[in-house]
Chains A and B, each alone.
Chain A
C-alpha cells in the first residue's frame, strides 16, 4: 500500500482529499480492513472452496477484518463481482482460482486502492498478485505412495475440469508413481464440472471396472461421489485433494494432498494490512508449510514401512529445499502458468 500511496497521493492532494502527510497505518486504523473472497463453487465442498472460506474466516478472526464472500456462477459474473468490491472500498479481494485471472487483470486497473489476488494466477501488477501453490511436490509424493500401493498397476486420476493446476498436479503425481513403479498405467477422467457428485461416482466406477485400484481425485464437491464409489468397492484406495479428506472414508484413504489455504490467505492478508504488499506471484508450497502430503494415520498398519519412510524423507527434503529431483516430466517442464 506504500506503493499506491506514493502514486495516488500527489493526485489526491491536488483534489484536497489527502492529508499532506500520507500515513497508511493511520488510514488503516480509521477504516476497517475489508477482505472479500470469490469462490467458483460452494464453500461446503470440504475441499478447494471450503478451505478458502476457512482462510477468509481466519483473516476475520486473526486480523479483525470485515469479510465478504460471493460464490460466482458464471465467468460473466467475475468482472462484475470484482468491480463491486472495488467500488465498496475493499482492501483485498481474492479470486479463488486460475479462472479469475483475466477478470482480475481487467478490473485491477480501475480500482487501484484494492489489491486483487488470484489463487493459482500468474498475472501481477501494482495491485495485482498471483499465488503459485506448489501442488506438484506434494502430488509427486502422493504418486510415490500410490505407485507402491497399486497391485493392478492401474491408477486412476479424476479431475473436475482440466485446469492448468489440476493437470500439472496430475503430471507430477504420475511422475512420482512411475519413479517407483515403471509398469504403472494411468487412466485420467474429467467430470466436466465440480458439483455433479453422481457423475463423479460413475467416473470412478468406470475406472475401477478398467482395473484401477488407486484413485486420486481433485474434483471438489463432485469428488464426494468418488469417495462413495470407493466406499462401495473393497480393495481400492483413494487419495484426497485440497483439504485434508482423510476423515471422509478413513479405512480406504491413503492420504490427502492438503493445501493449508488459511495459512496462505493469512500470509497475504498480513502483507496487505501492514502495507508492504508488492504485486508478485506468491510461491507457496512445501517449504512455506502451505502444501503438503498428509498420510492417513488410520491406515498406517496397512502401508509398508518402507513406503511411508520414502514419502516422509522426500517430503522432508523438499521442505528443506534439498530435494534434487524433478517432480514434473520433461515434456511438462514447470511453467509459471499453472
Chain B
C-alpha cells in the first residue's frame, strides 16, 4: 500500500464519525440551539452500538447506537427547549453524565475486566467500478456500508435545509426565533426535531467508532470527538457541505499525523499529535474567512 493510499484511506475513516456528528450538529445549530452534549451522544452511541451489535449484528448495532443518541438528545431537549435551561450548562452536564453513565453501565454489563471485549464489525464493501478508480477509488468506495449512508445523507441534509419549507423554518428559527414565531413557524417543535436529528447522528458516529472501526468499546473512547465536531461546524461555516469539507480537513491532518509518526523520523511525537488541532485553531481564527454564526444561536429571543 502506498503512503498516499494509506493517507487517503485514513482520512476517510477518520472523517466518517466526525462528519456524522458534525452534520447533525449543523442542523441543531442552524435551528438556534448549541448542543455541547454531542460528546455525550457519541459515547452513548458507542455503548448502545456495542451492546446491540453484540446481540443482533452490525445493522442492529447502528440502530442501537442511533437510539442511544436519540435518548441523549431527548434529555437535552427536555432541559434546553422545554425548560429553557442554559444550553451550554445543560450540554456540559449531559456530556459529563453520559461519559460516566456509559462507563458504569459497561462495567455492570461486562464486568471490570471486560469479558465481552469484541463486537462484530461491519466489513468493507467495495462498490464495483467506482472502487477501481485510480487513487481515490479505494479510499472513497472501499468502505463499510455505513460510510455510504453518510454519502447519501450529505446531499439530503443540504436539500432539506435549503430547498424545503421545513428547512426555511429551521434557518429562520436560528436567525430570529421571535420573527419566525410571529410568522407562524413552530420554533420549539422545529428545534426539538433538530436536536433529535443531531442526537441520532451523534449516536451513529459513536456506533461507527465501535462497529466500523475499533471493534470494541472502551470507556471514554469518544476522546473529545464531540467537541471537535462542534469546532468543525464553525470551521465549515454552518453549511452542510462546508462542514463535511471541514471534517475532511481535520481528518486529513489526523491521518497525516498517523503516517508521520510511522515514518520513523526523529521528531518529538507531540508535534504531530498537535497538527490537527493547530489546523483547526487556524481555521477557527478566521483564516478561511469570517465566521458568522446563526444570529439566534444559544438564545431564546432575538
The reply to whether A197 and B114 form a contact with Cβ atoms under 8 Å apart is no
**4 other A-B residue contacts (CB within 8 Å) besides A45-B218, A209-B3, A221-B219:** A50-B113, A209-B6, A224-B218, A248-B117
Is there an interface contact between A198 and B112, defined as CB atoms closer than 8 Å?
no
Q: Point out the residues of chain A lying under 8 angstroms from B213, CB to CB.
A: 197-198, 201, 225, 228
> Are B261's CB and A190's CB within 8 A?
yes
Interface size class of A (residues with CB under 8 A): 35 or more
A193-B223, A202-B255, A205-B10 are contacts. A44–B214 as well, Cβ < 8 Å? Answer: no
Contact of A197 among B14, B209, B262, B273 (CB under 8 A): B209
**Which B residues touch A196, using CB under 8 A?**
218, 221, 223
Q: How many A-B residue pairs have CB under 8 A?
A: 137
Q: Is A2 an interface residue (CB 8 A)?
A: no
Residues in B neighbouring A210, C-beta threshold 8 A:
3, 259, 262-264
**Which chain A residues (45-100) contact chain B, with CB distance < 8 Å?**
45-46, 50, 53-54, 71
Nearest residue (CB) in A for B221 is A197
Using A43-B107, A202-B10 as known contacts, say yes or no to A207 and B262 having CB atoms under 8 A apart. Answer: yes
A187 touches B114 (CB 8 A): no
| A residues near B254, Cβ cutoff 8 Å | 199, 202
Are the C-beta atoms of B262 and A203 separated by less than 8 Å? Answer: yes
Interface residue B17 (Cβ < 8 Å from any Cβ of A): yes
Q: Which residue on chain A has the smallest CB distance to residue B256? A: A206
Quick check: is B149 within 8 A (CB to CB) of the other chain? no
| Nearest CB on A from B13, distance (A) | 7
Chain A min CB distance to B206 (Å) = 10
User: Looking at chain B's contact residues, is the secondary structure mostly helix, strand, loop, or mixed?
Assistant: helix
24 A-B contact pairs sorted by A residue (CB < 8 Å): A44-B107, A44-B110, A44-B114, A46-B117, A50-B112, A50-B113, A185-B264, A189-B258, A189-B269, A190-B261, A192-B270, A196-B221, A197-B213, A197-B218, A202-B13, A202-B258, A209-B1, A210-B264, A212-B262, A224-B117, A225-B214, A225-B216, A228-B213, A248-B118
| Residues 248-293 of A contacting B (Cβ, < 8 Å) | 248
Select from chain A the residue with minimum beta-carbon distance to B16: A198
Is B259's CB under 8 angstroms from A228's CB? Answer: no
Query: Are B223 and A195 in contact, CB atoms less than 8 angstroms apart?
Result: yes
Could you list which residues of chain A lie within 8 angstroms of chain B, going by C-beta atoms? Answer: 41-46, 50, 53-54, 71, 156, 162, 185-190, 192-193, 195-203, 205-207, 209-210, 212, 221-222, 224-225, 227-228, 231, 248
Interface hits, B89-124 → A, CB 8 Å: 103, 106-107, 110-114, 117-118, 121
Q: A193-B223, A195-B218, A222-B218 are in contact. Are A46 and B269 (CB under 8 A)?
A: no
Number of interface residues of B (CB under 8 A): 41
Interface status of B220 (Cβ within 8 A of chain A): yes
B259 is contacted by which of A54, A193, A206 (Cβ under 8 Å)?
Answer: A206
Give the 4 A-B residue pairs with the shortest CB-CB distance, closest first. A42-B219, A197-B214, A221-B218, A209-B6
Chain A residues within an 8 Å CB radius of B262 = 156, 187, 189, 203, 206-207, 209-210, 212
- Distance between Cα atoms of A93 and B96 in the complex (Å): 26
Q: Is B215 an interface residue (CB 8 A)?
A: yes
Q: Please report B residues at the A interface, Cβ cutoff 8 Å.
A: 1, 3, 5-6, 9-10, 13-14, 17, 103, 106-107, 110-114, 117-118, 121, 209, 213-216, 218-221, 223, 254-255, 258-259, 261-264, 269-270, 273
Return chain B residues, CB-CB under 8 Å to A187: 261-264
Indicate the member of A187, A198, A203, A225 with the most B CB atoms within 10 Å. A198
A195-B113 contact in complex given A189-B262, A206-B261, C-beta closer than 8 Å: no
Q: Are A206 and B10 in contact (CB under 8 A)?
A: yes
Contact for A188 among B1, B209, B264, B270, CB less than 8 A: B264
B107–A197 CB distance below 8 A: no
Q: How far is the CB of B138 from chain A (nearest CB, A)?
A: 12
Instruction: Known contacts A206-B6, A248-B117; decide if A197 and B216 are in contact (CB<8 Å).
Output: yes
The distance from the CB of B43 to the nearest CB of chain A, in whole angstroms, is 10
Instruction: List B contacts of A198 (CB < 8 A).
Output: 14, 17, 209, 213-214, 221, 223
How far is B219's CA from A197's CA once the two chains are assembled, in angstroms?
A: 10
Contact at A44–B264, with CB atoms within 8 Å?
no
- State how many angstroms separate the Cβ of B4 from the closest Cβ of chain A: 10
The complex places the Cα of A207 from the Cα of B269 at a distance, in Å, of 14
Q: How far is the CB of B210 from chain A (nearest CB, A)?
A: 8
A residues within 8 A CB of B112?
Answer: 43-44, 50, 53
Q: Which residues from chain A contact B117 at a C-beta distance below 8 Å?
A: 46, 224, 248
Q: Given the complex, which residues of A lie within 8 Å of B258, measured CB to CB?
A: 189, 199, 202-203, 205-206
Measured CB to CB, the nearest residue on chain B to A192 is B273
B265, chain A: closest CB distance, angstroms: 10
Taking CB as reference atom, which chain B residue is nearest A189? B261
The answer to whether B103 and A42 touch across the interface, beta carbons within 8 angstroms, is yes
Cα–Cα, bound, A207→B263 (Å): 8
Contacts of B5 in A (CB 8 A): 209
